[in-house]
Structure 1
Amino acid sequence: MSDADLAGIVRQRLEGDRTGACMAVAVVEKDHVARTFQCADPADAGRIGPDAAFEIGSVSKTMTATLLADLILQGRGSLDDTLASWLPEGTRVPDYQGQPILLRHVVTHTSGLPRLPPRLDEARMDDPYAGLDAEALLASLADVELEAAPGTRFAYSNFASMLLSYAVARRAGVDFETLLRERLFAPLGMDHAYIDRPPRGVRPATGHTPTRQPAPPWRFAADLAGVGGVRATLEGMVRYVQAGLGRSGAPIARAMAMTREPVSQTPPMGMNWIIAPVPGRNVLVHEGGTGGFSSFVALDPQRQRGVVVLSDTAWTSLGGLGSLANHLVDASLPLGGPRREVAPEPALLQALEGEYRLEGVAPMRLRQRDGKLFADVEGQGEFELGYDSAGDFYPLQFDALLRPHRRADGSWGLTWLQGGGEIPVVRADLELPSAEDMPGYAGTYPLLPGFSLTVREEGGQLVAQATGQGAFPLRAVARDHFEAPVFGIEIRFLRDRSGEVASLELHQHGNVLRGRRQ
């Protein structure tokens, strides 16, 4: 692939995108590298360049895993060590019925620890980790009880990754940034990569929200930065990918190779690398996102190919850099096009008007005026929502999405996406089942010969699992009506004359399967 080829692909996805994002992109093919710097608006080209360092967010976790592998290869630990043994003596680390958290659970996000430490002050979501120090991080462990044995459930945890960052620095006996520079950056020639101490010749890029507003940089306590605190230029990440493909003679290459080896199968993961299937092979991928940046790195060892995408705009609420990045990984995957601002259909605006509840947040009212949609969330006041060609509404002043989806009965469902999370939005006039009602839906429902849907209650929420597939949560739309919008699934439970749940209907992509409860 030439630089011009790559530039054409990136422009096809990015040019005119409503987010105004700029991107630095590279495709590594053995010893050949194609590079391009592109912006949704070409007038913004000066925002980035070869000297611009981007926040790479959670891609930093793969570097933390490399440092852990390096210590293991030095004989200073093992993936089967307990997390507690790498933390200060006396630290209270939760277990599950005597089963401890091991390092292998931490690097595969199966530790059972929550997504964020309980003592994180989320009041400043524009810089959420700045106020968290190691003392508060370790103290947060005492606030947690595990709900399942470590290693049995995947749940992405920045909490666990911050603990690993701290533990690796502590075991190495040096601060995390110095450790990164000496063991990884310097040997690989990543001269412009850093956490807090920018080297000469590099300029920090300014991050942006998807509404084109400048975003402040994210800051981390020194030894916790392995969760997402690295900044790097495109060239630095190219060198990282080349080494990850085994095309480096640096001593750290052995540790990088170790991180690529499978550690868990459910889901398939290396050490902080997700092992993702593409046609005919597996690749290793990781995405990252901060308040103003998005990133994506992929390693394709079989084809000796790698991909780097760095954006100076946060696309977390938009689903990340997936369409462009995945297409660069394998051309058979769809590229997609830019999100452009368009006018919503009047019928859609009319259908969405009404009173709603944002689960766990506040009441919300949607109203239309002059062909536009306005939201009024209790305590925040009214704000205007734009609409784009992907079918999403979005606030004009902050980073979030209101995503509509059509249900089987023709009604519209809504999901609010913000800060990497999804919040169900339900009509205020609909009766919802309580946590006490949930066990009444549990059971196995045969839908086809050899194919059943098992429904169970976990922590006041319904979880469904089809034969031979993974479990997924169901959210309540109304009494006896649940959905999983990400899969396009609706489930309607049917009751017998006594009022007990007797069967269900599973609606997906226009098909309906029915099964009686066993």
Structure 2
Amino acid sequence: MQRFRHVHASLALALITVSANAHAIDQAGLERALAQRLEGDRSGACIAAAVIDGPRVVRAHGCTDPARRSRIEGRAAFEIGSVTKTMTAALLATLIERGEVSLDDPLASLLPAGTAAPGFEGQPILLRHVVTHTSGLPALPSRMRVTDPADPYAALDEDALLGSLADVRLAQAPGTQFAYSNFASMVLSWGLARQAGIDFESLLQRELLAPLAMRDAHIRQVPDGVRAVQGHLPGGQPAKGWTFPVDMAGVGGVRATLDDMVRYAQAQLGQVDGPVAATLARTQQPVRDGVAMNWMIGNHGERRVHGHEGGTGGFSSLVAFDREGGQAVVLLSDTALHTMGGLRQLGMHLLGVEASPGTPRRPAQPPSELLDALAGDYLLEGAGTLRLSWRDDTLRVQAAGQPELALGYDDAGEFHLHEVDAVLRPQRGDDGRYGFVWVQGGGALRARPLDPDAVSQPMPAVEVLRGYAGTYPLMPGFELDVRERDGGLYAQATGQGEFALEATAAADVFAAPAFGIEIRFQRAFDGAVVGLELHQGGNVMRGERR
């Protein structure tokens, strides 16, 4: 399923509904909650957990298979994913405390002069928009090339990051709508390092990790005696660790032990002295409804809970706290649990918010009538076509040009792949027909059955097709060649195979449905084709005809 967009599974904590009855959990209660959540779970996950209640800290380690607990014990560093963003917010708050910047400064103020930062009708993206995910920037940079889907950020560089800003056309004013953006967070991370004149890891160590005695937390510089936890896909398969360019690692690149994150959570509760205390308190102040500086806020009664979840290809994490109540929870898992609901419910249970820690997802047998109803061909929005079939009581999925893969099934009524962290959620429409939502890499794509009686649009005349032919550079080293042949139109990207284009009902718009591609050609005033836009998986790449 390599053609599907792989995005950083950096997940914001959903707004929390909390009860007014906080409770203190003891060692036995923490171990019982972990066992209740994990026993028999198909993920095979282990979770390191801590609950802070005033000066008291309770820690426990739980695994689906208790014999594997040693893999997360000791000085074991987990990828904390997007919880890192709250640390990046702390670095920004440090500058604010010193009077060097303001939340109302443009994002461009942290970037080199001449950088093409987008705006909307004269309204720039402000720093407050970045830390509340209202910048309007897309989830990922348009020029980001994923050379290894198992380690998607490894090949990103400064030119691609900053150059992608020039590709953005904001549809509305910044601050208008919440839309989670790793792209914006990477730009902020890079800009803070540039402002400080040192690399992001050194900046983080100086301003936050060292003052909080988070001795084992790191990005690239691994402290002596610390070992990296092996991450896993749901089901137990090892997952490759994620690497980030150091100056962009503020988006999700920190590794930390349970003890590190306990100290971080204690600091959020105000249990530290010195300038860092004011810095962290500033990050917790609401910037807009329900959002502080990269903290999501839930209110109910007299309680206010701040929280953030994180996730990478093989890890899940959560930090949440009620500062007024003096309680916090830290959860670190060596397994990617994003498609299984993450760690939110368990964390809220440990804070006394949810009655249940959540139920395990156990393997189950899918009903044959459901398998019958799902079998068929589907169009996955923005990602091409899929074929579902079944035999031997097993649902199988096949994308165009790729091998068939078997799907498992669990008692929550969802199908899942074993090879990658992806879930198929069946949905029945009002007409009784089944479709589904495909969840992978932090994104959810809706699928609809293909209409076997649909009539394709006729191709334009050969002389019109030849007018589209040419080479269109989309980014440095990556071009799209378009050619006419035998009355058809074909395209081929650098290093990839040729694919046929189909005409659509719209003029100058062609599609390759099997790959979720739409190409929109652009004309000059004299009618000549001068460029194109390639739309795929929610991303847009532009190129001028050469």
Distance apart, 1:38 and its partner CA: 0.9
Q: CA separation in 2, counterparts of 1:235 and 1:93? A: 39
Letter in 2 for 1:313: T
- Residue from 94, 101, 120 that aligns with 1:77: 101
Q: Could you list the runs of 4 or more consecutive aligned residues of structure 1 that deviate by over 6 angstroms after TM superposition?
A: none
Distance apart, 1:347 and its partner CA: 1.5
Tell me if the contact between 1:50 and 1:235 (Cα under 8 Å) persists in the aligned partners.
no
Tell me if the contact between 2:136 and 2:179 (Cα under 8 Å) persists in the aligned partners.
yes
Residues 155-234 of structure 1: pairs in structure 2 closer than 5 A: 155-234=179-258
Tell me if the contact between 1:71 and 1:172 (Cα under 8 Å) persists in the aligned partners.
no
Tell me if the contact between 1:366 and 1:373 (Cα under 8 Å) persists in the aligned partners.
yes
Letter in 2 for 1:378: A
Residue of structure 2 in register with 1:101 after alignment? 125
Q: CA separation in 2, counterparts of 1:88 and 1:392? A: 47
Residue of structure 1 in register with 2:26 after alignment? 2
Tell me if the contact between 1:317 and 1:418 (Cα under 8 Å) persists in the aligned partners.
yes
- Residue from 58, 71, 75 that aligns with 2:82: 58
Q: Structure 1 residues 430, 29: CA separation in 2 closer, same or farther (over 3 Å shift)?
A: farther
C-alpha offsets along residues 206-265 of structure 1, whole Å, 9 cap, x if unaligned? 111113211111111111100000000001000001001111113211100000001012
**RMSD of the TM alignment (CA)?**
1.6
Distance apart, 1:290 and its partner CA: 0.5
Letter in 2 for 1:363: T
Q: CA separation in 2, counterparts of 1:189 and 1:86? A: 28
Q: CA separation in 2, counterparts of 1:137 and 1:359? A: 26
- Residue from 269, 274, 282 that aligns with 2:304: 282
Letter in 1 for 2:64: A
Residue of structure 2 in register with 1:365 after alignment? 387
SS at match of 1:6: helix
Distance apart, 1:161 and its partner CA: 0.2
- If the length of structure 1 is used for normalisation, what is the TM-score? 0.81
Residue of structure 1 in register with 2:363 after alignment? 341
SS at match of 1:119: coil
Tell me if the contact between 1:57 and 1:229 (Cα under 8 Å) persists in the aligned partners.
yes
Q: Does 1:134 align with 2:158?
A: yes
SS at match of 1:253: helix
Q: Across the two proteins, how many residue pairs are aligned to each other?
A: 431
Residue of structure 1 in register with 2:136 after alignment? 112
Tell me if the contact between 2:78 and 2:334 (Cα under 8 Å) persists in the aligned partners.
yes
SS at match of 2:278: helix
Letter in 2 for 1:27: V
Q: Structure 1 residues 106, 258: CA separation in 2 closer, same or farther (over 3 Å shift)?
A: same
Residue of structure 1 in register with 2:349 after alignment? 327
Distance apart, 1:190 and its partner CA: 0.6
Distance apart, 1:174 and its partner CA: 1.6
- Residue from 35, 46, 61 that aligns with 1:11: 35
Tell me if the contact between 1:56 and 1:294 (Cα under 8 Å) persists in the aligned partners.
yes
SS at match of 1:165: helix
Residue of structure 1 in register with 2:420 after alignment? 398
Letter in 1 for 2:135: S
SS at match of 2:180: coil
Q: Does 1:122 align with 2:146?
A: yes
- Residue from 318, 327, 330 that aligns with 1:296: 318
Q: Does 1:252 align with 2:284?
A: no
- If the length of structure 2 is used for normalisation, what is the TM-score? 0.77
Task: Please identify, of 398-407 and 249-258, the stretch whose mean Cα deviation from structure 2 is larger.
Answer: 398-407
Residue of structure 2 in register with 1:67 after alignment? 91
Q: CA separation in 1, counterparts of 2:440 and 2:301? A: 32
Letter in 1 for 2:304: N
C-alpha offsets along residues 294-318 of structure 1, whole Å, 9 cap, x if unaligned? 1111021121111111001111222
Q: CA separation in 1, counterparts of 2:31 and 2:51? A: 11
SS at match of 1:381: coil
Q: CA separation in 2, counterparts of 1:20 and 1:251? A: 42
Residue of structure 2 in register with 1:48 after alignment? 72
Tell me if the contact between 1:211 and 1:398 (Cα under 8 Å) persists in the aligned partners.
no
Tell me if the contact between 1:69 and 1:256 (Cα under 8 Å) persists in the aligned partners.
yes
Q: Does 1:352 align with 2:359?
A: no
Letter in 2 for 1:69: A
C-alpha offsets along residues 410-429 of structure 1, whole Å, 9 cap, x if unaligned? 44331100111011111112
Q: Does 1:149 align with 2:173?
A: yes
SS at match of 1:188: coil
- Residue from 244, 263, 270 that aligns with 2:292: 270
Q: CA separation in 2, counterparts of 1:165 and 1:199? A: 22
**Using CA pairs below 8 Å that are at least 6 residues apart, which structure has the higher relative contact order?**
2
Structure 1 stretches lacking a partner, 5+ long: 433-518
Q: Does 1:309 align with 2:353?
A: no
Q: CA separation in 2, counterparts of 1:176 and 1:82? A: 20
Residue of structure 2 in register with 1:386 after alignment? 408
Q: CA separation in 2, counterparts of 1:409 and 1:283? A: 42
Q: CA separation in 2, counterparts of 1:280 and 1:389? A: 37
Distance apart, 1:182 and its partner CA: 1.4
Q: CA separation in 2, counterparts of 1:213 and 1:157? A: 28
C-alpha offsets along residues 461-497 of structure 1, whole Å, 9 cap, x if unaligned? xxxxxxxxxxxxxxxxxxxxxxxxxxxxxxxxxxxxx
Task: Please identify, of 271-280 and 108-117, the stretch whose mean Cα deviation from structure 2 is larger.
Answer: 271-280
Q: CA separation in 2, counterparts of 1:143 and 1:50? A: 46
